[in-house]
Amino acid sequence: MNKVLEMSGLTRRFGAVTAVDGIDLDIVAGEWVAIMGPSGSGKTTLMNLLACLDAPSEGRYVLDGVDTSRLDDRERTVVRREKIGLVFQQFHLVPYLTAQENVMLAQYYHSMTDKEEAARALAQMGMEHRLQHRPSQLSGGEQQRVCIARALINQPAIILADEPTGNLDEQNEEIVLDIFRDLHRQGRTIIMVTHNPEMGEQAERVVRLQHGRVEAADPTPVTP
């Protein structure tokens, strides 16, 4: 069993409010996990902690063999760009860069840009004809595909997706879901935050949050 991610007693407090309250969770490589729960259940805070965008108040979080809970901002930045690929609900592309450049941006902060590699990554998403378009010239689904290509480009240990189809129509939702299925087949580890039950069904395992705690989780599957 190859654990890519281990959490124990992970807690995040904002003043008197405890948003995430002692979560224990392990995720093995190649797993597709959906984190679900109603608004205010601590999904976003947990996502921030998973993405190393925020530091826990208490508890331990080991990502791909690195204990991140004691790192400072700078070190977390390094972990983020080495091990995590982020997919956003709002896509978040840099408006003044083309699709290809947006993908290259991740390479740039990671190590070194490679135009061809970025083009290939976009081609895999079916975007080879859209390389030189800026976000404002792309549809929502296309923007999300650029965002996914950007998340994958550095071969991250985990892919974190925050409501990836939340801003998409059905047709585009299907395209994006197909991409995620593909990624899963390729053996990528995917963690997806959503409150869409259909999305949840696609995942191997669903973790339900309620008031910052894990309410119900499917058992950790045995590695196939």
Partner 1 sequence: MFIRMLRQSFLRGRKRKALAVATIVISASLISALMTISINVGDKMSRELKSYGANINLLPKSESIPLEIGGIDYNPLRGQSFLAETDLPAIKEIFWRNNIAGFAPFLKTPVRLAGQRQPVQLIGTWFDRHQPVANEPDYRTGVRQINPFWEVVGDWPEDRAFGGVLLGSGLAAAAGLEVGDRIRIELGEAERQQSAELQVVGLLKTGGAEDQSIVAPLATVQQLTGLPGKIQAVSVSALTVPENALAKKARRNLDALNTEEYDRWYCTAYVSTIAHQVEEAIPNSAARPIWQVAAGEGAVMRKIQLLLLVVTVAAFIASSLGISSLMSTTIMERSGEIGLMKALGAADRAVYLLFLSEAAVVGIIGGLLGCVAGAGLAQLISLGIFRSTVPFAPVTLPVILFTSVLIALVGSLAPSRHITRLLPAEVLHGRN
Partner 2 sequence: MAAISLQQRQNLRMFLRILLQSLRIRKSRVLIAFCSILIGAAVVFALLSLYFDISIKMSRELRAYGANFFVGAAETGQPTLEADVYRRVLEQIPATRLVGASPYLYGVARLDLGNAVLAGVDFTGLRRLSPFWQVEGKWVAVDFDEEHCMIGRALARNMALKVGDQLRVFKRETGFNQSLTVRGIVETGQAEDDQIFVNLSLAQKILGQPGRINHAMLSILSRDFDTDALAARLKEQLPGVTAAPLRKVSYSEGKILEKIKGLMALVAVIILAATTFCVMTTLVAMVVERTREIALLKSLGAENRSIVRQFLIETGCISLAGIAGGMLVGFLLAQLLGQAVFGAAISFRIAVVPLTLTVSLVAALLAAIMPVRMALRIAPATVLKGE
In the complex, minimum distance from the CB of residue 98 to partner 1, in angstroms, rounded to a whole number = 15
- Report the nearest approach of partner 2 to the CB of residue 65 (Å): 18
In this structure, which amino acid lies at residue 181?
R
Specify the residue, 110 or 211, whose C-beta has the smaller distance to partner 2.
Answer: 110
Contact partner at residue 140 from partner 2, partner 1, none, CB < 5 to 8 Å by partner kind: partner 1
Say which entry of partner 2, partner 1, none residue 80 contacts (CB below 5 to 8 A, set by partner kind): partner 2
- Least Cβ distance, residue 106 to partner 2 (angstroms): 5
35, 213 contact by CB (below 8 A): no
**Interacting residue ranges for partner 2, rule: CB under 8 A:** 44, 47-48, 51, 53-54, 74, 77-78, 80-82, 86, 88-90, 92, 94-98, 101, 104-114, 134, 150, 162-163, 166
| Residue 16 contact among partner 1, partner 2, none, beta carbon within 5 to 8 Å by kind | none
Q: How far is the CB of 221 from partner 2 (least distance, A)?
A: 28
Residue with smaller CB distance to partner 1, 39 or 136 = 136
Q: How far is CA 13 from the centre of its chain?
A: 22
Q: For residue 7, what are the β-bridge partners?
A: 25, 61
Q: Which is nearer to partner 1, 122 or 147 (CB)?
A: 147
Strand intervals (E) in 29-96: 32-36, 58-63, 66-67, 84-87
Give contact residues for partner 1 (rule: CB under 8 A).
Answer: 90-91, 95, 135-136, 140, 143, 167
Query: End-to-end distance of the chain based on CA atoms, in angstroms?
Result: 10
| Ramachandran quadrant class, 37 (left: phi over 0; alpha: psi -120 to 50; beta: rest) | left
Task: Give buried/exposed letters for 66-95 (b at 16+ CB in 10 A, else e).
Answer: bebbebeeeebeebbbbbbbbbbbebebee
Identify which of residues 9 and 140 has a Cβ nearer to partner 1 in the complex.
140
Query: Which helix (H) or strand (E) element contains residue 8?
Result: strand 3-14
From the CB of 169, what's the least distance to partner 2, in Å? 17
Length in residues, the chain? 224
